[in-house]
Structure 1
């Protein structure tokens, strides 16, 4: 009888181990699929993408996000809040206020052309998951360089996957997708703005979404990565009348 009990226990342990192996092989049992298009996904995830969904509409890109297949690195709403800022924070409104210009009260005061230009810095042709990108090691980029990609806005970025260390063995641990904005295409190895991905391979009915992690570094903290580009475009184009003042 004892032998039978031990045999059953051993069988259950083996079965449980197989389940764990299946989990690790699949990279997790969470369902990455979303039953809706990319815009509907952003609208459904009000935290953290409610403002981003609004900007998609302001940029006149509802059809693109609803129908076309592409890869989108989704920045969170806090990036927009930090970019616009207040007169007391290091954001756009601080620049406008101390330059004697009107400040941004509603997002529709910024030109749709500007919203579209900078939103496209996060959009890339093709449907690419984490497995489709090359490895990058920021310590030995000559060996593991990642890959260079042009965004739909025409800007260049490096996209790669970092391989973590486990049990003191390099490259067998956690894998994380990284988007790095390169401000000057003529100097592709200089002044990188590194942005890690918190959740990758989210799959709406069109395209794929990679959600960017919170980033307090200057490149990830502002819309369009290089905040001076966005600030200057808004500053020199002027603000449109807001809905509240019409």
Structure 2
């Protein structure tokens, strides 16, 4: 456990420098959202953020899905948990590596973060600001079901700029209907060739989707 403990300490130091807002932004390696490669290749290129994410996908035997080689799913949407989220999951479950997880466990976790088509941020509807996102009267946002069977409500909110309402930056949020939890988002609309990655932030804990 010493190796895992040291890694955890390092990650704790890293995330302490980030504010705990609902949508933090971190460096994904390239400023452009477009990447001339598959989702799997994109994740493999950035070991800083996605090393354990890649191992989780490989352990789940879902590499073809993320490489765009599954004939049934040419494009997907991935709400991507970063390596730190997976490391914390291993720590909480007294494991040192992804290889200690069962294939079925890995597959279930991964598919709970995947939609079977490409959804960019602007595909999701605005929230009705008159109601909380979990209010039964809430008629905004877009409800989707992941390939793992859990239900999410994705929505956008407008903001003010210079005192003028609704002309500032738009922010994307994720609410898990299944778990009744908000899911912290880091960077939306990372676009490899076979879909889109919406990166979750370092505060995300596996199981909240």
What's 2:12 paired with? none
Report if aligned partners of 2:78, 2:115 keep a CA contact under 8 Å in 1.
yes
For structure 2, the 5+ residue unaligned runs are: 1-30, 69-73
Separation in structure 2 between the aligned mates of residue 49 and residue 202 of structure 1, nearest angstrom: 14
- Residues 137 and 47 of structure 1: is their aligned pair in 2 closer, same or farther, counting only changes over 3 Å? farther
Q: Look up the SS of the partner of 1:126 in the other structure.
A: coil
Query: Is residue 195 of structure 2 the alignment partner of residue 194 of structure 1?
Result: no
Q: 1:51: how far off?
A: 0.7
Report if aligned partners of 1:136, 1:144 keep a CA contact under 8 Å in 2.
yes
Q: 1:211: how far off?
A: 1.0
Query: Is residue 194 of structure 2 the alignment partner of residue 172 of structure 1?
Result: no
Bigger shift: residues 136-145 or 193-202: 136-145
What's 1:71 paired with? 77
Which structure: larger Rg? Answer: 1
Show CA shifts across 1:41-94 (max 9, x none). 000111211110111100000000001311111111111111122xxxxx222x
For structure 1, the 5+ residue unaligned runs are: 1-29, 86-90, 94-103, 185-191, 227-246
Aligned length: 170
- Residues 151 and 159 of structure 1: is their aligned pair in 2 closer, same or farther, counting only changes over 3 Å? same
- Residues 156 and 138 of structure 1: is their aligned pair in 2 closer, same or farther, counting only changes over 3 Å? farther
Question: Aligned ranges for residues 1-246 of structure 1 at < 5 Å?
Answer: 30-67=31-68, 68-85=74-91, 91-93=92-94, 104-136=95-127, 140-141=131-132, 142=137, 145-183=140-178, 192-215=180-203, 220=204, 222-225=205-208
CA RMSD of aligned residues (A): 1.9
Report if aligned partners of 2:90, 2:97 keep a CA contact under 8 Å in 1.
no
Higher helix share: 1
Separation in structure 1 between the aligned mates of residue 32 and residue 99 of structure 2, nearest angstrom: 35
Report if aligned partners of 1:119, 1:224 keep a CA contact under 8 Å in 2.
no
- Residues 211 and 35 of structure 1: is their aligned pair in 2 closer, same or farther, counting only changes over 3 Å? same
Q: TM-score by structure 2 length?
A: 0.74
Bigger shift: residues 141-150 or 63-72: 141-150
Q: 1:167: how far off?
A: 2.6
